[in-house]
Amino acid sequence: MIYFAVDSSGKTGGMERYLANRGVALGGHITPIVYEDVFQLGELPGGTWIFSSIDLLTPSARRMAAHVHQRLRETGHLTLNDPVHSLRRYELLTALYDAGVNEFRAVRASDYRGDLRFPVFVRNDLRHDGNLSGLLHSDRDVRRELLSARFRGHALDQLLVVEFCDLSQDGWFRKYSAFRIGDRILGRHAQSSRHWMVKSDTGVRTDWAAEFERQYIDENPHAAQLAYFFDLANIQYGRIDYGLRNGRVQLWEINTTPTIGAGSSAKKRSAEDERYRELREPAVRGFHERFRDAFFSIDEQGPAPAVPITLDPVLRESAQHEQAALRQRAVRVKRLHRLAQHPALVQLRRSVETVLRKVVGR
C-alpha cells in the first residue's frame, strides 16, 4: 500500500480525481490521507509513504511530519520526500544559483534591497499559479508592486522577487515538466507560448505543438539532468518545471503537490480544445501508463506491520492554531483581492500608494 500524505487545505493535486479516472488501476494501492489525520494516529499503517505538500506545512506540522518520517525510516519503510530536509522553492533556487546552474536569482520580498538584475517579477513562494506581477523594469516599479501586494493582503515573507531569465527561441517560450516517482523520471508536458509566463491557458494548440510535446514525452531527453536536480533537492516525488537556455536547464520549481490531471473525465471543452486534446491523447496515454507503472514499482508488497508513534500534544495544538491562522489569512487575501478590483478602491489604492511612496522616499 502507498500512503499519500497531503495538505489539509484540499490541495491534493487531484489524487482522488486521478484515482477515479486515469489511475483507476491503482485502486487499492494508493490511499490519500491528510496530515491532520496522520497526526491523530497512535499507529502508522505500514507501507510506502509519500510526503507531499511539504512547502505548505506549518512549523509545528513540519516537526510532527519529520517525526512520522523518522519512525517510518527506522522501521524499514520506504519514504518519498523529507518534511525537513527536502528543499522548498526558495532554498532550491538559491542553491541552484549559488552552484552556477541557474542564471537568475530570487530573493524574499522582505529581503529585497534593489540589487537584482532587471527586469524582475513578483510571485508567491507557496503557490504554483505563476506570477503576481508583470515584468518590472526598475527598483521603483518593484517597490510600487510590493506596496500594492501588501494592500491586497500578501505578506512580504511569502513573496519572492525573481530575476527574469529570457528563454525564448525565435519568439517562442517553452516550459517543460517532468515527474519523479522513486527512481523514475517521466516527461509530462512541453508547452509553447508567445507569453513569457507559460501556463496551460497561454499555450498554443496546434498540430506542431502537440507533436513537439509528443517527442518530449516519448524521448524524455533531459532525464539524467533532472535526476541530479531532484537529488540535489532531496525530493523523490514531485514535478519539476524548467526551461532551456542555450541548451542548459534553468529550473523554476519542484512541486511536491503537482496536479496529475483528470484524464478523460467529462469536462465541457471548446471544439478547438477537444481537437487539441485528441492530438495529445496518444502521448498523454503513454505518460499515464508509465506513471502507473512507477507507482506500482514503489508499492510495498505483502502485509506490513503497523508502526507505533507518539506525538507531542502541545505540537498538535500548535499545528491546529497555525493551520487556522493560515486559513484566515487565505480568506482575508481572497476578500481583499475581490475588493481591490472595485473601481473606487482601485483609485483609492493608487492614492494611498502615492502617499506611501512619498513617505518612504520613493
Amino acid (1-letter code) at residue 354: T
pLDDT (0 to 100) of residue 140:
95
Supply 14's cell numbers. 487531484
**What Cα–Cα distance (Å) separates residue 126 from each residue in 57, 72, 235, 256, 332?**
10, 27, 17, 11, 16
d(CA 185, CA 150): 39
- Tell me the C-alpha distance between 20 and 254, whole Å: 25
pLDDT for position 344: 73
Nearest C-alpha neighbor of 205 from the set 270, 266, 282: 270
CATH of 173-255+268-298 among 2.40.50, 2.60.120, 2.60.40, 3.30.470: 3.30.470
| Region of residue 213 (phi > 0: left; psi between -120 and 50: alpha; otherwise: beta) | alpha
pTM of the full structure: 0.88
Pairing of strands 48-51, 2-6: parallel
C-alpha to C-alpha distances, 287 to 162, 178, 290, 291, 307, nearest whole angstrom: 31, 10, 5, 6, 34
CA distance 176 to 223: 12
Nearest to 272 by CA among 207, 195, 205, 190: 205
So what's the pLDDT on residue 263? Answer: 47
Bridge partner residues of 51 (DSSP)? 5
The gap from C-alpha 25 to its chain's centroid, in whole angstroms, comes to 26
CA pair distance 60, 223, nearest whole angstrom: 35
Each residue's pLDDT expressed in tens, for the chain with a length of 362 residues: 999 999 876 555 688 889 999 999 998 899 999 999 999 999 999 999 999 999 999 999 999 999 999 999 999 999 999 999 999 999 999 999 999 999 999 999 999 999 999 999 999 998 877 789 999 999 999 999 999 898 888 889 999 999 999 999 888 999 999 999 999 999 999 999 988 888 777 678 889 999 999 999 999 999 999 999 999 999 999 999 999 999 999 999 999 999 886 544 445 678 888 999 999 999 999 999 999 999 999 998 777 889 999 999 999 999 888 888 878 877 777 777 676 666 776 677 667 666 655 665 54
* Structural domain boundaries in the chain: 2-86, 105-164+325-359, 173-255+268-298
What pLDDT does 265 receive? 46
Radius of gyration over every alpha carbon of the chain, rounded to an integer in angstroms: 22
DSSP per-residue codes, 210-233: HHHHHHHHHH-TTHHHHHHHHHHH
Return d(Cα 62, Cα 115) in angstroms, integer.
Answer: 33
